[in-house]
Structure 1
Amino acid sequence: MKIFKMALFFLVLSFCLPSISEASGLLQARVDRASAGATIEIEEGVYEESIVLSKPITLKGKGEVVIRSCVEQPIITIEGKHVSLQNIKVEQCSDVKKSTAISVMGSNHNLQNLYIDTTQFGIKLDGAQNVMIQNSEITGRQNGNGIDLWESNNNTIRNMKISRVVDGIYLEQSHDNSLKGNSLSRSRYGMHLMYSNNNLLKENVSKGNMTGTMLMEAKGTSVLHNEFSDNKDNVNAQGLLMYYVTGTEIIGNQMTENRVGIYMENSQKNLLKSNKLTDNFIGIQFNKANENKVTLNTFVGNVNEAQAIESSKNGFIQNYWDASAKIDTRGKGTSAIAFTADPYFLTLTKDVPEYQLFFQAPGLTLLQKMLKSPESQLLKDPRPLMHPSVDVEKETSSSPVLWTISAIMVCLSLLLFIFGRKRI
């Protein structure tokens, strides 16, 4: 009887082992058998393997499809041309640094409707061209970038939701790429461009990061109609950080509730136009930034509208500053009184950062008026606008609340007055 049970056990095992081996490489086997141009539909389930797609095929999930792996190599490697990857969840659980969920090389690939949960990097493009990545979500553990481009040009990344990574979208030596309609949060930089030229950043929302977006050693970038907000939980936080940037246009963006709305250093010949900077600690800050044009922007509700140090020949003209004095003597919509920002406080705190504790203290304000900075260091807008150049939302609910509180306080005061007189 005992011998019979053992024989039965080995018989069952002999049938199972081939099946297990086949299942572990099931997807790769189907890919290898498929002809160029084929569409492979993956049935719902969890697949524990890594695969390589190197010919023009479409790999498409049917239902809830999960491909998972904790090994060092990418879970999905895409090479060659015209590979399409759709409707798949990728779970990357490797603890090896710089490992990635999806690696992309080659050209003309299409990745869409993906959900990537990664402990390291989400998607890496290495020398990839004309790749479309869209309508997907990446969640990380702040160990690697969400989407990382290296020497990859003419790619489009749009409608992505990326959170809890190092940099949401990182570009290095990558040119002519389009980043549009993406949502980036809870990371170091929402978008980070290094040595990358002629890229388009449009209609993205970068919120709750250390810095909304950083441009470094970048030329010809177009930053259009983005929202950079709530980037303030770090002493070096900014909505938009520009370092050694030239020939870039910053147009129609909204910078709200950041530590610094726009910070520009060692940058020149850039255009900042029709942006809305509201409720930031510092609206705009220049450091060794020269020959930039700043026009038709709206500054409202910032603790400090503008600061500039060692910066000259910047064309600040016809911006709206809610802190400026406004008298329109010519009826042309601009004030006859120039707006001036003195860098005295910035100069003082540069050498002694602890002086920031005394920001807007009465004594420091008086000292600034007595010891004005040289005329050449002043940031001046000779013709500030009388009215905002862009719409500024006003709180509609606060007014009734304030009226109610005021009425209650008046009634209490009257009651105290009346009953107080009666006791006397």
Structure 2
Amino acid sequence: MKIMHYIMFLLLLSFCMPAVSEAASTLQSKIDEAPKGATIEIEEGEYEETVVISKPVTLEGTGKVLLRSCGADPVVTIRDKGVTLKNIKVEHCGDEKEDTAIYVTGSNHILEDINIETKRFGIRLDNANDVAIQDSEIVGINRGNGIDLWKSNRNKFENLNITNVSDGIYLEQSNENTLRENNIQKSRYGMHLMFSNDNILDENVSRANTTGTELMESKRTVVSNNKFSSNNNSVNAQGLLIYLASDTEVTGNEFISNRVGIFIEEAENNRLDSNKIMDNFTGVQFLKSNGNKAVNNTFVGNVNDAQAIESSNNQVDRNYWDAASKVDVNGNGESEIVFTADPYFLTLTADVPEYQLFFQAPGIILLQNMLKSPAEQLLIDSAPLMDMTMEVEKEQSSSFSLWIMSAVMILASFSLFILGRKRR
């Protein structure tokens, strides 16, 4: 009997040993044991744990690696300096307000080839500087920001795909960051800058969001070579919103099929130069904004090219307007006929939305010519260009989508008109 008990004890001990060994080799223990500068390779598999990296090491997945947690802590926390995270999928399934997949502070970190699924925040940078995040993907459920910056400077975000989040990339009090070649879709704001200065937004695509990009109380932002398209799923939608911002350079961008291409509100000393503004309901709109410049832009296929309300001191010159009458007497490439954008129809429909039923009706055009808007609401280009400043010949103006947008507005107005009659 004693021998049998002894054998059973040994067998039981042998079954327990692997579990003890496995517990001793968690990812966190490997990180803690690794010397500075080491590369820690994670074998393919799923890991239900959170990790904290507080020294300069590289954590790299080999094959398909998933780190997953539903707890209150971030799945990955990065601190100090010089951490590299590569080829890892991170999933945070918690649904509390502050839940975050990856939390970053410190400086000089690199995140590359990271795939994130989150119910709240994707990556949060808190007082993090000189961080590079590239070649990665973030997918959410519209309850938290994809990448969220707080007092974080000189960071670079390149080649990121971000979908279904609140704000794709959100910056607050964060300066000198570069956002380049990112693709952001189906979110509230594609890129959202607040109280953040000297940032660069270059060659990004912001599509099918409520607002492609908002710049709020931010200075010296460079917005160049981006594409803002189909940001039209709300009555407040626009490609680019410049609000209380100044010294912004908007150059070489495409604004296509948005509700409003560029909306400038209570903003001064901003420059729009050489942009393609095509197939929007309203191309550019100024509201209580003065001292801005719009030059060398191409306006094609917009329902309303431009509107200015309480914005009389803006310089609008040498733009191409497909709706303008063009006569070039001296051959200098400028039309002798001044182009005037009158917001009469938009002002009329703002008070009575049902009047959208009469868009482009002869009676409305006659009224607009007879009852002109006040001078301060007129946007005047004294030297409209004869030729386009940007290539659009190879693209078909998406008149179909524009007609769909107009038809939806007309149907909505017609429904309001019918409901109004029934109530009487």
Q: Which residue of 2 aligns with 1:35?
A: 35
Residue number among 18, 21, 26 corresponding to 2:20 in the alignment? 18
Q: CA deviation at 1:209?
A: 0.9
1:28-84 alpha-carbon deviations (Å, 9 max, x no partner): 000000111111111111111100000011111111111111111100000000011
- For 1:208, give the aligned amino acid: A
| Structure 1 contact 209–230 (Cα < 8 Å) conserved | yes
Q: Does 1:385 align with 2:388?
A: no
Q: 1:340 — aligned with what?
A: 340
Distance 1:273 1:155 in 2: 26
Tell me the amino acid that sits aligned with residue 260 of structure 2: V
Structure 2 distance, partners of 1:87, 1:209, is 28
Following superposition, the deviation at residue 19 of structure 1 comes to: 4.3
TM-score normalized by the length of structure 1:
0.89
Matched, 1:234 2:234: yes
Shift of 1:317: 0.3
* Larger Rg over CA atoms: 1
d(CA) in 2 for partners of 1:141, 1:9: 49
Shift in alpha-carbon separation, 1:115–1:395, aligned structure 2, 3 A: closer
Alignment partner of 1:66 is 2:66: yes
The equivalent of 1:122 in structure 2 is: 122
Q: Determine helix, strand or coil for the equivalent of 1:220.
A: coil
Measure, in 1, the Cα distance between the counterparts of 2:102 and 2:281: 39
In structure 2, distance between residues paired with 1:140 and 1:389 = 39
Assess, with a 3 A threshold, how the Cα gap between structure 1 residues 308 and 6 changes in structure 2: closer, same or farther. farther
Q: Structure 1 68/178 Cα, relative in aligned 2: closer, same or farther at 3 Å?
A: same
Contact map agreement 1:253 1:274 (CA 8 A) in 2: yes
CA distance in 2, matches of 1:357, 1:95: 44
CA contact (8 A) 1:309 1:346 kept: no
> What SS does the aligned partner of 2:239 have?
strand
**Local SS of the residue matching 2:106:** coil
SS in 1 for 2:67: strand
- The equivalent residue for 1:251 is 251
Cα distance change on mapping 1:397 and 1:194 into 2, 3 Å: closer
For the residue of structure 2 that corresponds to 1:128, the secondary structure is strand
1:206, distance to aligned residue in structure 2 (A): 0.5
Tell me which amino acid in the other structure corresponds to 2:183: S
- How many Å separate the matches in 1 of 2:391 and 2:349? 34
Residue 315 of structure 1 and its aligned partner are, at CA, apart by 0.5
- Structure 1 residue 345, shift from structure 2 partner: 2.6
Between the aligned partners of 1:150 and 1:357, the Cα distance in structure 2 is: 46
**Could you say which residue in structure 2 is the equivalent of 1:288?**
288
CA distance in 2, matches of 1:146, 1:158: 14
Q: Which residue identity is paired with 1:227?
A: K
1:151-176 residue CA offsets vs partner (Å, 9 max, x unmatched): 10111111111111111100011011
The answer (yes or no) to whether the contact 1:298–1:321 under 8 Å persists in 2 is yes
TM-score scaled by structure 2? Answer: 0.89
C-alpha contact (below 8 Å) 1:189/1:211 kept by paired residues: yes
Q: CA RMSD in A?
A: 2.1
**1:34 maps to amino acid:** A
* Matching residue's letter, 2:345: F
Q: Number of residues paired by the alignment?
A: 395
Q: Answer whether contact 1:248 1:271 (CA < 8 A) is retained.
A: yes
Query: Cα deviation per residue 1:374-424 (whole Å; 9 max; x = unaligned)?
Result: 2233100001000101111345799xxxxxxxxxxxxxxxxxxxxxxxxxx
Displacement, 1:351?
Answer: 4.0
| SS in structure 2 at match of 1:32 | helix
Partner AA of 1:138 in structure 2: I
Q: Which residue of 1 aligns with 2:279?
A: 279
CA contact (8 A) 2:122 2:147 kept: yes
Matched, 1:177 2:177: yes
Judge conservation of contact 1:309–1:347 (CA < 8 Å) in 2. no
Contact 1:80 1:105 in 2 (8 A): yes
State the Cα distance separating 1:356 from its structure 2 match: 4.1
User: Residue type of the partner of 1:327?
Assistant: V
Instruction: Name the residue aligned to 1:46.
Output: 46
- Secondary structure, counterpart of 2:128 in structure 1: coil
Q: Partner of 2:103 in structure 1?
A: 103
Matched residue SS, 1:231:
coil
What amino acid maps onto 1:228 in structure 2?
Answer: F
Q: Where do 1:133-148 residues align within 5 Å?
A: 133-148=133-148
Once the two structures are superposed, the pairs formed by residues 213-228 of structure 1 within 5 Å of their partners are 213-228=213-228
C-alpha separation in 2, matches of 1:181 and 1:70: 31
Q: Which amino acid aligns with 1:373?
A: S
Q: Which residue does the alignment assign to 1:411? A: none
Structure 2 partner of 1:326 = 326
User: Distance between the aligned counterparts of 2:271 and 2:203, measured in 1?
Assistant: 18
Structure 1, 246-255 or 5-14: larger mean CA deviation: 5-14
Give the CA deviation at 1:210.
Answer: 1.0
* Deviation (angstroms), 1:245: 1.0
Task: Name the CA distance, whole Å, in 2 between partners of 1:376 and 1:71.
Answer: 57
CA contact (8 A) 2:309 2:376 kept: no
Q: Residue 163 of structure 1 contacts residue 184 of structure 1 at CA under 8 Å; is this kept in 2?
A: yes
* CA distance in structure 1 between the partners assigned to 2:355 and 2:244 by the alignment: 28
Deviations 1:168-198 (A, max 9, x none): 1000110110000101001111100011111
Task: Give % identity.
Answer: 58
SS in 2 for 1:41: strand
- Work out the CA distance in 1 between the residues paired with 2:246 and 2:53: 39
Unaligned runs of 5+ in 1: 399-424
Q: Is the 8 A contact 2:301 2:397 kept in 1?
A: no
The aligned amino acid for 1:226 is: N
Deviations 1:277-329 (A, max 9, x none): 01111111111111101000000011111111100211000000000000001
CA offset at residue 369 of structure 1? 1.5
Give ranges in structure 2 of 5+ residues lacking alignment: 399-424
Matched to 1:248, the amino acid is T
Q: Which residue of 2 aligns with 1:420?
A: none
CA displacement at 1:352 relative to structure 2 = 4.2
